[in-house]
Amino acid sequence: MNRIRRLFNEPKEKLIPFLTAGYPEMDCTVELVCTAAEAGADMVEIGIPFSDPQADGPIIQASSQLALDKGITLKMIFEQVQEIRTRTDVPIALMGYYNSILKMGHDSFLNHCVKAGVDGVILPDLPLHEAKPFCESAKSQGVFPILLVAPNTTSERIRNISELAGGLIYAVSILGVTGNDLSSKDALKSYLIRVRENSAAPFVVGFGISTREDVLWFNQYADGVVVGSAILKNMDGKDDIFKTTKEFIQTLKGIT
Amino acid sequence: MDNTFKDYQLPDKRGHYKQFGGKYVPETLIPALEELEHHYDKSKKDSVFQTELYNLLKHYAGRETALYHAARISEELGFDVWLKREDLNHTGAHKINNALGQILLAIRMGKQRIIAETGAGQHGVAVATVAARFGLECIIYMGEEDIRRQKLNVFRMRLLGAEVRSVVSGSKTLKDATNESIRDWVTHVDTTYYLIGSTVGPHPYPMLVRDFQSVIGKETKEQFIKQTGKDLPNRLVACVGGGSNAMGMFYAFLQDDIKIIGVEAAGKGLESGAHAATLTKGEFGVLHGAASSLLQNEDGQVTLPHSISAGLDYPGVGPEHSYLNQTGRVNYHTAMDQEALDAFKWLSEKEGILPALESAHALAYLRQDDNGIEQGEDVVVCLSGRGDKDVHTVAGALGVDL
């Protein structure tokens, strides 16, 4: 069974840290993902760096640019996931912009996913009406295409998106890019309830989530939360990025 | 010619030109694009909108622009060259045609805040101009590198009341300014109108920019008949960066039995890697919301283009051009930096017209040995803008210290 499906069959609080592949150093990703899993991450999202990340705020943009400057490629990311798979069974989703997948080709990309042990793919610039061919291929290979919904997505569209995705969708918390400030709790709550009512699949929430309080609050209304920019920012200026990441994830999970 | 273009109706409902085009954007922008489509459809049937636009084009922008028979270069070349003088528009280029059309849409959509990307600053100046004309807040995103290279246009935009925001991400040029505009739009989608400057971006932008620019070709057709007594020119030529002046010129002629040529920037040479010849050297990809031809590396990362002309210095190209290239309806050639500079001097000295360096690429094609133009042809060239903005660049290239 797909590891994401197995995870979301369990009704529990879920934390999904995001890590940019190849950041802060090319060879850190394997150890960081394993550290995250050991610290209590329920699933890990690995970002494929892209030259033009239009849905990302300054922190993830800068991390992507740095990883690209150091020479990260999609093939290297698959090798890293393959190595991670020898050490942990934590569900892994790749997050990337569509051009990276298009250039490799849907089939080749999905074959690499299957071979390396990738469970899902999040594509922030592949909306419903462009997503069908990729989603059908991914599902036939047992890889979850994780499509996005936003606060201004209509209820009907949430239904259609979740049906096409099938296994899991990603609700963007705000109108904005990654790392932005959150809006009012009232507005968020009614949005998340609307996603719950209309989604045919479990859903996680991401963008702007950074504290233990956020993790608890969002888990009341969603099936899990993604923390990205805050994880990367936490590494800034630290000598031991593994130790600090472990501690930060434990804090987010409420493990003391 | 086959019949594909006799009843040409692309894009389709979803904004595709076969495999090109579409809407590859974050979900947050989908409602905004649908709202824009809705208002654009309505505006096409709205005689009040059309009259207002017509009057602005006529009395504010100064249309129609002349179709000028360039007698001295025609004599030298052995065929007749007709220049469509978009350089005579208010603000000095064709960009104002689109800026006026879109600002009227923004007003009808109730948006009070206008954002735009700019490379050389010509589109930024056009947007700042129309925003001033209608009293709307205006923010222009411009790469830090371009701000340094185009100080004069930055100051012009500020004089017009716009805020120019420096973009320091990525390569700090036009593509990054576009990314930053998209991020701003995602964040302020309820209040903000994104006024895209070329036939690029997600549907419906490539279509509506083409339509607002198609006045160029429509006027050309009527003027050519009136001035020559002939039915059609033999050939159209326009430079292609994102492709808006070219689409504007070509669109009215796609179904006609004439040759159509787009000219891309070959920079320092196609084999040098330092060029912006997206259709000639690019591969299928997705950037800034559309599937089209794209300059990219083997890992799908967008590579940096080069052209002496900032307006052509873009790694993507409008999706409709990709389609016209694939079908062979339009032939795409290239001209190098040096050829464009030579053409700039040539037109200045022979006709008393300083062309924009973008337009100089189209002019350079006229002088290429392998252009296939026969003696006695009538060739229309879209002179998309005036060259005053490029005087510093040209002086630099000629080693002149101003």
| Complex ipTM value | 0.96
Whether B132 contacts B160, CB under 8 Å: yes
Integer CA distances (angstroms), A207 to A57, A99, A158, A212, in order: 10, 22, 18, 15
- Of the pLDDT bands very low, low, confident and very high (cuts 50, 70, 90), residue A228 is very high
Q: How far apart are CA A21 and CA A29, in angstroms?
A: 6
pLDDT in tens, B220-273: 999 999 999 999 999 999 999 999 999 999 999 999 999 999 999 999 999 999
Cβ A175–B170 below 8 Å, yes or no?
A: no
Q: Which residues of chain A have a CB within 8 Å of the CB of B14?
A: 129
Residue in A closest to B296 by C-alpha: A103
* Stretch B89-117: mean pLDDT: 97
- Of the pLDDT bands very low, low, confident and very high (cuts 50, 70, 90), residue B1 is low
Task: State residue A75's pLDDT score.
Answer: 98
Nearest Cα to Cα of residue A123 among B304, B178, B286, B293: B286
Cross-chain CB nearest to A50 (options B187, B298, B301): B301
* Stretch B356-378: mean pLDDT: 97
Chain B contact probe: residue of A63, A103, A109, A134 with most B CBs at under 10 A: A103
Q: Which residues of chain A have a CB within 8 Å of the CB of B27?
A: 124, 127-128, 147-150, 153, 161, 172
Q: How far apart are CA B215 and CA B53, in angstroms?
A: 11
| Tokens coding B380 | 């229309």
Residue in A closest to B185 by C-alpha: A176
Nearest CA-CA distance, residue A176 and chain B, Å:
4
DSSP annotation of A89 reads -
Q: Which residues of chain B have a CB within 8 Å of the CB of A57?
A: 183
Whether B120 contacts B146, CB under 8 Å: yes
Q: How far apart are CA A170 and CA A225, in angstroms?
A: 9
- Please name the amino acid found at residue B264: E
Q: How crowded is residue A60: how many other Cβ atoms within 10 Å of its Cβ?
A: 24
Cβ A125–B289 below 8 Å, yes or no?
A: yes
Q: Is the pTM of this model over 0.95?
A: yes
Q: How far apart are CA B156 and CA B92, in angstroms?
A: 13
Nearest CA-CA distance, residue A100 and chain B, Å:
5
Percent of chain B with pLDDT over 70: 99
Residues 133-192 of B with CB under 8 A from A: 169-170, 175-176, 179, 182-183, 186-190
Cβ A104–B300 below 8 Å, yes or no?
A: yes
Residue in B closest to A51 by C-alpha: B301
Cross-chain CB nearest to B24 (options A75, A130, A177): A130
Q: Which residues of chain B have a CB within 8 Å of the CB of A68?
A: 301
**Active site residue ranges of B:** 95, 117, 384
pLDDT in tens, B322-351: 999 999 999 999 999 999 999 999 999 999
* Stretch A118-145: mean pLDDT: 97
Q: How far apart are CA B258 and CA B234, in angstroms?
A: 5
Cβ A157–B25 below 8 Å, yes or no?
A: no
pLDDT in tens, B163-217: 999 999 888 889 999 999 999 999 999 999 999 999 999 999 999 999 999 999 9
Residue in B closest to A71 by C-alpha: B299
* Stretch A120-133: mean pLDDT: 97
Q: Which residues of chain A have a CB within 8 Å of the CB of B296?
A: 99, 103
Task: State residue B171's pLDDT score.
Answer: 84
* Stretch A41-64: mean pLDDT: 96
Nearest CA-CA distance, residue A180 and chain B, Å:
9
| Tokens coding A113 | 């996913």
Nearest CA-CA distance, residue A131 and chain B, Å:
9
Task: State residue B145's pLDDT score.
Answer: 85
Task: State residue B3's pLDDT score.
Answer: 66
Cross-chain CB nearest to B26 (options A73, A125, A130): A125
Q: Which residues of chain A have a CB within 8 Å of the CB of B204?
A: none
* Stretch A166-184: mean pLDDT: 92
Alpha helix stretches (DSSP H) within A86-228: 98-104, 106-116, 128-140, 155-165, 185-198, 212-221
Cross-chain CB nearest to B31 (options A50, A126, A152): A152
Q: Which residues of chain B have a CB within 8 Å of the CB of A148?
A: 26-27
- Of the pLDDT bands very low, low, confident and very high (cuts 50, 70, 90), residue A181 is confident
Task: State residue B19's pLDDT score.
Answer: 97
- E strand or H helix that includes residue B323: helix B319-327
Task: State the distance between the two ends of chain B, measured CA to CA, in whole angstroms.
Answer: 50
Of the CA atoms within 13 Å of residue B252, those in its CB half-sphere come to 20
* Domain ranges for chain A: 12-253
For residue B102, pLDDT beyond 80: yes
Cross-chain CB nearest to B170 (options A51, A104, A150): A51
- Burial of residue B304 (number of CB atoms within 10 Å: 0-12, 13-18, 19+): middle
pLDDT in tens, B266-304: 999 999 999 999 999 999 999 999 999 999 999 999 999
pLDDT in tens, B9-48: 999 999 999 999 999 999 999 999 999 999 999 999 999 9
State the average pLDDT for chain B.
Answer: 96
Q: Which residues of chain B have a CB within 8 Å of the CB of A77?
A: none
- Of the pLDDT bands very low, low, confident and very high (cuts 50, 70, 90), residue B402 is confident
Which strands, in side-by-side order, build the sheet including B16-17? B16-17, B20-21, B290-294, B283-287
Cβ A54–B25 below 8 Å, yes or no?
A: yes
| CATH placement of domain A12-253 | 3.20.20.70
Q: Which residues contact B399 (CB under 8 A, 6 or more apart)?
A: none
Residue in B closest to A154 by C-alpha: B31
Contacts 24+ apart (CB under 8 A), A110-113: A110/A137, A110/A138, A110/A141, A110/A143, A111/A141, A112/A74, A112/A75, A112/A78, A113/A78, A113/A138, A113/A141, A113/A143
Task: State residue B258's pLDDT score.
Answer: 97
Chain A interface includes B27 (CB < 8 A): yes
Cross-chain CB nearest to B23 (options A73, A127, A153): A127
* Stretch A192-205: mean pLDDT: 98
